Each structure stands twice: as C-alpha cells, then as structure tokens.
Structure 1
Amino acid sequence: MKKVNVKRVEDLEEEEQSFPVSPTGQYFTSSVLSISVISVLESEIPIDDSCTMILLKDVFLPINPRFSSVMVRDKNGDKRWKKVEVKHKDHIIVPIFPEGKAKEFYDNCFNEYLTKIAMEQLPQSRPLWEIHIFKYPTTKSAGNLVFKLHHSLGDGFSLMGALLSCLQRADNPSLPLTFPAFNSNNSNLESDYKKRFCTNVVQKVSGVVNTLVDFGWSLLKSTNLEDERTPIRSGDEGVEFRPIDITTMEFSLDHLKQIKSNLKVTINDVICGVLFLGVRLYMEETRYEQKNANSTALVLLNTRNIAGYKSVKEMLQPSNESKWGNRFAFLHVSVPKINKDEDSLTNPLGFVFKAQNVIQRKRNSAAVILTGKLLDTLQKYRGPEVTAKYIHNTLKNSSMTISNMIGPMEKMALANHPCKGLYFMVVGVPESLTITMMSYMGTLRVAVGTEKGPIDPQKFKCSIENAFDRIFKAAVPSASSKTPN
C-alpha cells in the first residue's frame, strides 16, 4: 500500500509540473511539420548584450511556462509540456564575423545567417526558442536581435504579445504602447463568419452556395488538387527543408490610407491588391506564358474573440486562456488574373477591386468554420499525425501564404536600445513563397521568404514595389508616385 501511495504522490507531482500540448501545437511538432517563427528587431544603436541573462531570467522566461518547458509523452502517449531548468547560455547565440568590413558586407552576412537559422531545427531536448544577437552594423540598422520560436509555443498573436511585453516605449517607458484601432468587422473573424452566414441563410441562398463551393474547393486543395508549377511555386517535395532568402520592403501607411480613401475600399483590399498584382507582374516578367497560371494564396486569419492585443498576463488568466496558443484558420484565395482585354499597366486598380470582391465573397461564406470542424474531427478520430499531414498538404498544394500583424504606433526600446524596425517570417513551411506584414510607427514592413534558386528575391521585391507604385499613381494622381523605401 505504501508503494502505491508513493507512486500516486509522484504522479501528482509530475502532473503539476506538466500541462497538455494543444492540438495545433502537436500538429506543428509532428513527423511531417516543424514550423517556427523568426522575429527580427533592428536596433538604432550598437547592441550591448551585457544584460541579456538578466532580461531572460526576469522578463522573458516568466512570460509563459512554455518557454521553460520541453515536450514529452505521458504514459498514454499524449504530448505534454514539462517544466525543466533552463540553461540560458544554450539559447543565446552570438555569431562571429570579420571586423571592420563595410555595411554591405554585413548585409550579406546577416542574410546568409537568417537563411542558416531558418533551416536549422530547434533541439527537442530543450525549450523551443533561441535568441541570436547579430552585433554588426548593416545598411538598415546598427545591430539585429533575432528571436526564433517554435510555432507550437503559440501563433503570431501570442508570440508577438510575448515579445512586445519585453519592450517599452522609447519616449516614456511608463506609458503603454498603443496600436492602430482594429476594424470592428475584423475583431472576431470566426464570430463574424457565423453572424454573416446565419443572416445570409435567411436573406440569400448565395451564402449557402458560397459555403459549399468554398469548403469543397478547400477540401480538394488540401487533398489532391495542386497549384501549377510556376515562377512562384517549384512544387518539389521537401521544399520546407531547402534554403530561403528573406527580403523586406516598406510602404507608408499614410499612402495606403490615401488609396483606401480614394477608392472607398479597405486597407486589406489595398494590400491584397498590391500583393496580387505584384505576383502577376513577377510571373509575367519571369515566364510570360504563365502569367495567369492558377495560383492560390493561403491567408491566415486570427479567430480570437478580442478587439486587439492583450497583455500576456491577461491572455494567461483562466477566463482568457484560449487567447494564448494557436487560434487561427486558413482561407484559400485564388490570385486574380490579368484579363485578356486589359493590361496591368493601364488598369492596376482592377486588382484592388478584384481583391475586394474576393474578400467580400469569402466573408459571405462559413467555409472557415467547416474547415475548423473538419480538423477537430480528424484530430479526434484519426489523431494529430493524420491532421498534421492534412495541414501539410494544404500548404504544399498552394502557392503562397500571407499573414499580417499589427504593431505599435510609437517607437519601442529593449533594454534602452531603440528599435528602428521590426518584422517576422514563418519558416519550415512546405511552400516556395511566404509573405508576412507588420505595421510599426506608420510604416508597413513586408517580409518575403522565397525558396533559393527558383525565385529571384530582388526581382520579386521590385515587382511588389512596382505594383504599389502603379496602384498609388492611379489612385492618387495628385501625389508623388514614388514608392517609399
């Protein structure tokens, strides 16, 4: 009897030191998927890393127990997070390069270094995060701080909330960071879909038709209907294990708002129009006969029932626990084509209106809800590995993924290091093209992850900038058409 009692005590103690891995967290650490997020903070001043260990111990690690845990399997074979002692030095990497070189030299060093860490797998034997301190000056910053966090720790919303909780306002640390107001129509996408769907069932048959068509198409895209091999999609197996290039560009939010106001559309319509036109321009220039090849974008949607960022403390409260973690959904969107009877040179605004029509149509559909239910059913009856395979196919069969985050309006600082710029990239995705966006201090930073070899990153960047320039010039003819950099 004593042995049984002791074992029970040990089991209880072990259970107290561990907690379940969410279903999505299990998908992202499966045999077919291992996805991470890389966030880059550009420092205005040379980086002093003397306080790194203190910040880790006192600020970063207390944010969430996942940052001090590893994944283990319990006696039932289920994955759980288990608390461990963190060896801080194992998670801090400071690369060494030749001293005294030109900034352009360090640009190349930094780009290659990002490629290197994007390809590397985070060791499962320790908590799934790393911090890389690049101390050399580039043409864009005096130094770079790179966070690499496994996607199983949380989605972009959770991880960005954690990162921002380590930062302060540069002008006055006692004041909170503020963010652009969320559009109430976008504050809760899942609820929004449900409301629209229920309304349209009564008012319009189109809501039901759109749902059936969209869900059926999504099902086909995730199983056996692949996009064509094009200049933006190699279609090769194992593309997630290949090197990538990460390039960035900047656009003025004021200019985007001017376009929005003049065309009477939304900011999302404008951004999607720019990206879609840029993709078609790149395809047209690279392989003209494939300029209108069938291409699908996976747009990531935040499904939380909240109107903006919450503090990490708020996200982890029992009543708000679902706000931390992976709470997103995929939306399949066909990239609009260049009409035979029109030219992208003469009608660039057509892509903004096409994007608007696609987005409005998708909002008159509950396909995202059905897809979520399908994943829940697969998880329940087939397990996380089968569900992970389904998600892998969803990504692999499409041409690109698009995701965005809203950043602060004020300049931030980390340990008295003013942050000049901020962007992120999702890596380990079985696609040749990934586009992410984040706003910061009145600027939209667009980061593009491209498979090395098949895609020319500089040509693709020029195509996106060219698309913005054309749309801005057509929508705001009275203003300068020069693309801000």
Structure 2
Amino acid sequence: MGRECNEWEQDEPLTPAGRLFAQPEMRQIIHCVIGTKNPLDIDFIKSELHNSAMLQHPRFTSLLVRDQRGREHWRPTEVDIDRHLLIIDRRLSRTDHDSAVNSYLADLSTEGLGMEKPLWEIHILRAHNCAIFRVHHSLGDGISLMSLLLASCRKLHDPRSLPTIASSSSSSRSRNKGWPNILWNLVVTLWFGFVFAVEFILRCVCVRDRKTPISGGAGVELWPRKIATASFSLQDMKTVKAAVPTATVNDVLFAVISSGISRYLDFREQNGVREGLQLTGLAMVNLRKQPGLQELSNLMTRNSGARWGNKFGMLLLPVYYHRSNNSDPLAYLKRAKAMIDRKKQSLEAHFSYRIGDLVMSTLGPKFASWLNYRILCNTTFTISNVVGPQEEIMMAGNPVTYLRANNSALPHALILNMVSYAGRADMQVQVAKDIIPDPEFLAKCFEDALIELKDHVTAKI
C-alpha cells in the first residue's frame, strides 16, 4: 500500500490535450519516417538512443496509467530500449523502396501502441534504409516531435551545427497603425471571428459536407489503408507564390490541394459532382508564441514560449470543385489566399483551441472526444504541414535522404501530411482504400497541379 501511494506521488497528470488523445475515439499515433543513404547500424542506434535527449525527457520514460477515478497520469519507469526497437531485415516487397515503405506504413496506420511500456517505438526496415519513429500523440504534437528529432541530427556539411529551421510566414494582415485602421481591423476580426465560430460549432453538431467519391464517415478509421507520396519542389512553390502579392507557401499548398482534388473528381465522377460543390478540409495549425521550430532545450524550458506538448488549433478550409479544363490555374491560388487570410484574421485557430480546452476542463475528455470525432465525420479531409530542415542533415553519422510523416487513421478517407526537407516537400497521401483505391493517381493529380501552376506563371513572365 505504501509503495502504491509513493508511485501516485511521483505521477504527473496529463495535459487536457494529452487526455483527449488518450480517448479511444481520438487515439492517434504519429509516424515520422526517416530515409537514410547507408544501411542502419543497429548497435550504433542503440548507443545513440541511450545518450539521446529523448530518454532525458520524462514523457518518453513514463507509462500512461489511470487512477481510480479514470484520470490519466504519467508514471516514471525504467526504459528497456530492446522492447522499443523492432528490427525487420527482410525486403518487404520486390517493388521500389517508397512503395514498400508506404505499404508498411499503411498497415501501421490502423495499429495502436501497447500500454505496458512508454508510448513510443522505432521500426527499422534495414533492407530499405528506413526508420519509422512511432509516437503517441499524447506525448506531443508534430512541432515538438520534429524538434526532438532534429536535436539528435547535425548538418551534413557542418557536423558541429544543428539543422536550420525556417520561421513561419508572417501574417499578411494590414500593419497600419492609425486609429481608423486599428478600429476597422478590430471590427473585421470580430465579425469574421463570430462567423467562423458559428460555422465551427455547427460543424461539430449538424452541418456536414455532401457525399462525394472521397468522403469518409463514422467507422472509416477502422478500414484498411493505402499510402502514396506526392513530391514537390519548394522552388516551384516559391515561383508560383511570387505571382500573387503577399501569398505564402501554405497558400500555394492549399491551391495545389484544391486543384488536385478537382482533377481527381473529374476522373472518378464525370457528371455526379456539381460545379462549385464545397468539400471541407480540417487543418492543424501551430499556436506556439515563437515562430518556427525551436531547439529541444527551449521546448523543455517551463518559462519558454515554445512549451513542449500539444498546442495547436483547427481551421475549417473549404475546397470548391471546379472542372479542371475550365479553370484559370491561378484562380485556385487567389481563392486559397483570400480564404486563408480571412481565417487568419478571424483567429479561428485560437478560438478552436480555447473552446477545446474549456470543454476538456468542464465537460471532460469523453465529451471533447465526441465533439472532435463529430467534426471529423462532418468534414472531408485532414491536412497538416510541418516545416523541416532547410539543408541536408545526418543522423548518427548517416546522411538523411528524406523526411516524411503521417498519423493513424481517422474517420476521413483522405489524410494529407506534408513535411519539407532540403528544398523538397513530400506529402503523404493516406486513403481508405475501399473508398479511394488509387492514391498513386491522386498523388500525381497534386503533383500535376503544381506543375501546371508553375508553367502558367513562367509563361506570363
């Protein structure tokens, strides 16, 4: 009895967001995929893990336990690295490496993590020069986990230096300081905030997208998955961005997604989707005070503005179907920029975060989980974008060839996760294969959309 009381005294309660991701409906695993140039040395990896910053962090050395009232806590424990490493020596298939790794990831997307050990594990695919870092979302968000990963990496051509991370783009809102402009901006912010708050609440309760060939729904998170990779040049995105004043790379990304989905629907459903039909995306937005990704030491400092954990809001981002052969390619970018600018000014992401925090604190994680599940069922797809290193890096002395990410299955039939690395951006296109059987074609639709935008812009120069 005394030992049990001592254990509870050492326990640390989960944050509200951590408790949300511990619920069965919202249990999410983040997969960070690291490709390397050379074969992975298992003994060297174990040695690096023993001395890594990860094993100095209490969340990676704790069990998730529940007390008699059902409240979740972190309980410190000893870590046996061998229990967290899964080594696969055989070649997974005779196809190319990307297809084999994506097939393996698709199988992982419907699997959870055992609660008998800290909630992370590393899968080593030796024949494919690839490591998959699986982390429960209750431990932290993509920004935290990317920072943890990069704290163990160094620049390829400067082994003593940490990787360089670009800061997030600044907002395009007006910066005029006169009183009329300040008052007008306040009125516009309050109006957009009210409109989007009402829309957000209605989405949680009753409003849902119309059924299309890419729609998911309740229970779809349990369906088998397929994954394909769409690869983009960041220079191409910057070329397109320059064609519209104050546009950002995120604006270009969403224009590519909008155009790519329209292209795919043209192929799948010639006459069944009406022009202008809205399909709503759910985007996860980082809300940390400091822009960009920070060093792990900053994230672990209590007084830092870049606290470790989960701190993100949601944005509802509508896509409107337009027949691809009747559209001006830049129209997608102009629509995306105008819509995202309004979303930024409305503070919708901050509103969704505060509402979620309030619901968790007052009504508990079960009700908050139900609301989140409802909004997933009432929208069409999920999108996230994490900024990675600007230059090539190495991990444990091994050059990294690519960085990718995806997460566990959701009620959406389409989940898009993008990570940039050394001038390229890879977007993992995860689908419920019984609804979208050809993710490779969908990925090509996204790639072709960017090429069309770039060609259109360069032809006008």
Gap change, CA 1:432 and 1:346, over 3 Å in 2: closer
SS at match of 1:131: strand
Gap change, CA 1:366 and 1:309, over 3 Å in 2: closer
The count of residues paired between Structure 1 and Structure 2 equals 454
Instruction: Name which of structure 1's ranges 59-68 and 443-452 shifts more when overlaid on structure 2.
Output: 59-68
Structure 2: tracts of 5 or more residues without a match: none
Kept in 1: contact 2:124–2:131 (CA 8 A): yes
Matched residue, 1:274:
256
User: What is the Cα deviation at residue 56 of structure 1?
Assistant: 1.9
Kept in 1: contact 2:120–2:136 (CA 8 A): yes
1:320 aligns with 2:304: yes
Matched residue, 2:190:
208
1:124 aligns with 2:124: no
One-letter identity of the residue aligned with 1:33? M
User: What is the Cα deviation at residue 112 of structure 1?
Assistant: 2.5
Provide, for residues 330-353 of structure 1, a one-character-per-residue CA deviation record: whole Å limited to 9, x for no partner.
0001113328xxx54551110000
Tell me, in whole angstroms, the C-alpha distance in 2 between the residues paired with 1:185 and 1:294. Answer: 25
1:59 aligns with 2:40: no
1:449 aligns with 2:396: no
Matched residue, 1:411:
392
Provide, for residues 429-474 of structure 1, a one-character-per-residue CA deviation record: whole Å limited to 9, x for no partner.
2211111111111112222111112112011012111211211111
Structure 1: tracts of 5 or more residues without a match: 1-5, 138-142, 480-485
1:301 aligns with 2:294: no
Tell me, in whole angstroms, the C-alpha distance in 2 between the residues paired with 1:200 and 1:27. Answer: 37
Counterpart mapping for 1:374-413 below 5 A: 374-413=355-394
Please report the RMSD computed on the Cα atoms of aligned residues, expressed in angstroms.
Answer: 2.6
Runs of 4+ in 1 over 6 A off after TM superposition: none
User: What is the Cα deviation at residue 205 of structure 1?
Assistant: 4.0
Match for residue 142 of structure 2 among 156, 179, 200: 156
Gap change, CA 1:394 and 1:384, over 3 Å in 2: same
Match for residue 23 of structure 1 among 16, 19, 27: 16
Counterpart mapping for 1:153-302 below 5 A: 153-185=139-171, 202-203=184-185, 205-235=187-217, 237-264=218-245, 265-288=247-270, 289-290=272-273, 292-302=276-286
Matched residue, 2:78:
85
Tell me, in whole angstroms, the C-alpha distance in 1 between the residues paired with 2:348 and 2:15. Answer: 23
Counterpart mapping for 1:328-407 below 5 A: 328-338=312-322, 344-407=325-388
User: What is the Cα deviation at residue 293 of structure 1?
Assistant: 3.3
User: What is the Cα deviation at residue 107 of structure 1?
Assistant: 4.9
Match for residue 413 of structure 2 among 412, 432, 437: 432
Gap change, CA 1:331 and 1:201, over 3 Å in 2: farther
Matched residue, 2:64:
71
Matched residue, 1:483:
none
Kept in 1: contact 2:227–2:429 (CA 8 A): yes
SS at match of 2:426: strand
SS at match of 2:171: helix
1:471 aligns with 2:453: yes
Provide, for residues 21-73 of structure 1, a one-character-per-residue CA deviation record: whole Å limited to 9, x for no partner.
11111111113221111111111112221222212221154342111111112
Tell me, in whole angstroms, the C-alpha distance in 1 between the residues paired with 2:37 and 2:97. Answer: 16
Provide, for residues 314-361 of structure 1, a one-character-per-residue CA deviation record: whole Å limited to 9, x for no partner.
21112127611000000001113328xxx5455111000000110112
Tell me, in whole angstroms, the C-alpha distance in 2 between the residues paired with 1:136 and 1:58. Answer: 26
Gap change, CA 1:428 and 1:145, over 3 Å in 2: same
Tell me, in whole angstroms, the C-alpha distance in 2 between the residues paired with 1:478 and 1:49. Answer: 52
Gap change, CA 1:81 and 1:321, over 3 Å in 2: farther
Tell me, in whole angstroms, the C-alpha distance in 2 between the residues paired with 1:98 and 1:44. Answer: 16
Provide, for residues 122-179 of structure 1, a one-character-per-residue CA deviation record: whole Å limited to 9, x for no partner.
0112111110001114xxxxx1111111111100000111111121112222122112
SS at match of 2:31: strand
SS at match of 1:122: coil
User: What is the Cα deviation at residue 16 of structure 1?
Assistant: 5.3
One-letter identity of the residue aligned with 1:400? F
SS at match of 2:43: coil
Tell me, in whole angstroms, the C-alpha distance in 2 between the residues paired with 1:409 and 1:105. Answer: 26
Gap change, CA 1:92 and 1:376, over 3 Å in 2: same
One-letter identity of the residue aligned with 1:67? F
SS at match of 1:55: helix
Instruction: Name which of structure 1's ranges 269-278 and 324-333 shifts more when overlaid on structure 2.
Output: 269-278
Tell me, in whole angstroms, the C-alpha distance in 2 between the residues paired with 1:419 and 1:255. Answer: 22
SS at match of 2:215: coil
Instruction: Name which of structure 1's ranges 16-25 and 301-310 shifts more when overlaid on structure 2.
Output: 16-25
Tell me, in whole angstroms, the C-alpha distance in 2 between the residues paired with 1:48 and 1:364. Answer: 49
Tell me, in whole angstroms, the C-alpha distance in 2 between the residues paired with 1:262 and 1:16. Answer: 59
User: What is the Cα deviation at residue 249 of structure 1?
Assistant: 2.2
Identity over the aligned pairs, expressed in percent? 28
Provide, for residues 240-294 of structure 1, a one-character-per-residue CA deviation record: whole Å limited to 9, x for no partner.
1222222112211111111111332222221111111111111121112216433
SS at match of 2:304: helix
